Structure 1
């Protein structure tokens, strides 16, 4: 694991760092297609009602998570709604220590769920990828270290739907996601689609949820330390992900290998 003081220095544009970046930073795909078989949820629908419907319609439901603010709130809501399935995290070998510690705290808080870590113990020198691939080809790095392990796990599970924490205000590229989304190999359930960051923060505070401490340092969306920086005033929540690299998503939700 890389120590915190070994991370690349985060510099402002004036100091020679990457320029301020707002979404979209890559071609936008067609908006998510609402599932016509789902109830007619409205923007005011309680996420608990969406999750409870999903548990009935898709008993094999599975939740991938990177334990960002949205994911932490979704975990708590899912527990209240009766979810007892897997929570799947992909260890790329480049996660911040705070992220791994947050995962452990959540696993202890929700023992009724099964926390699964794929590629557990991965590290930059494990031979999965060249050590500098994240810089030279971030798409390829994500494809090998994050997308492929999760896709393999999901194929083995043969499940019909995923429960995830994406919301519309995270980025312009997510502005159209519906509560229940078709397209790709599985139905995507997005209970937090209409919740704002302010509402998520209020919920987390009200329920004393263990939010990744990096969030309070401006890391509103936390991925690998190699490709994540703090968000600056005026930027959206995901502007710190792959900034300056023409990339907005890891490949789990968009592209040829989307879930």
Structure 2
């Protein structure tokens, strides 16, 4: 395993960087168009088939991850399909200790992957943003601490595609995502049609190191400042930025989406 600690420069909007406020703030967003160059996968297509296609069609594919349940399952499937590339995680400085521990457990389990941590060692008083920005403008906090570092790294690496773990049942913002999404970079979503129950069953059957917070009701784990446990009947991402009219950090929805 090769573990890298990278801290790309975060540029201001005037310098061509990501603006400090991301859109949309509303909880609904339109899915990106399906990539017409991709095979016509059916909802029942095995994710392994989609990942193998991705590795052949996009040998430079890169995987961003926050190590939630979906991400842990995708990591295991990707390795089974032959993926040996990078897994890129952005340390915002506000992650739960359990999330960082999950990252380290995964890195030990999958030595064939290269785990890259951007902004390694970030913390609330590091001067990147005002320490209370998450409370006054959550969009701006996400843009500066999460979106900008990853966008900077992607400009540097220039992958043609991103392998990611989003699924349709996570939130309304993701209800129509296709397996392969066209865009500046092709976004490949092998788990698009997997339900939470199926993901949980896979994780249990394969004894995967799921973030322990998940089993305490944190069905989607982000920064501790903006994440709570999900209540009965809520979707998996309802605990993210609760009460802020926001369900996406800006990586996958809005004008600065990947």
Question: How many equivalent residue pairs?
Answer: 235
In structure 2, C-alpha distance between the alignment counterparts of 1:69 and 1:34, rounded to whole Å: 24
1:66-103: per-residue Cα shift (whole Å, max 9, x none)?
Answer: 00000000000000000000000000000000000000
In structure 2, C-alpha distance between the alignment counterparts of 1:89 and 1:61, rounded to whole Å: 15
What is the match of residue 210 of structure 1?
A: 209
In structure 1, C-alpha distance between the alignment counterparts of 2:27 and 2:112, rounded to whole Å: 40
Structure 1 stretches lacking a partner, 5+ long:
1-23
What is the match of residue 59 of structure 1?
A: 59
TM-score by length of 1: 0.89
- Does structure 1 retain, via aligned residues, the 8 Å contact 2:27–2:246? no
Moved more, 115-124 or 26-35: 26-35
What is the match of residue 162 of structure 1?
A: 162
In structure 2, C-alpha distance between the alignment counterparts of 1:213 and 1:80, rounded to whole Å: 24
Dislocated runs of 4+, deviation >4 Å: none
- Displacement of 1:32: 2.1
TM-score by length of 2: 0.90
- Displacement of 1:31: 2.2
Equivalences for residues 37-186 of structure 1 within 5 A: 37-183=37-183, 185-186=184-185
- Displacement of 1:171: 0.6
In structure 2, C-alpha distance between the alignment counterparts of 1:134 and 1:207, rounded to whole Å: 36
1:174-220: per-residue Cα shift (whole Å, max 9, x none)?
Answer: 0100000012x200000000000000000000000000000000000
- Let me know the Cα RMSD of the aligned residues: 1.1
Query: For the structure 1 residues 27 and 76, does the alpha-carbon distance in structure 2 shift closer, same or farther, using more than 3 Å as the test?
Result: closer
Structure 2 stretches lacking a partner, 5+ long:
1-23
- Displacement of 1:27: 5.1
In structure 2, C-alpha distance between the alignment counterparts of 1:150 and 1:186, rounded to whole Å: 13
What is the match of residue 258 of structure 1?
A: 257
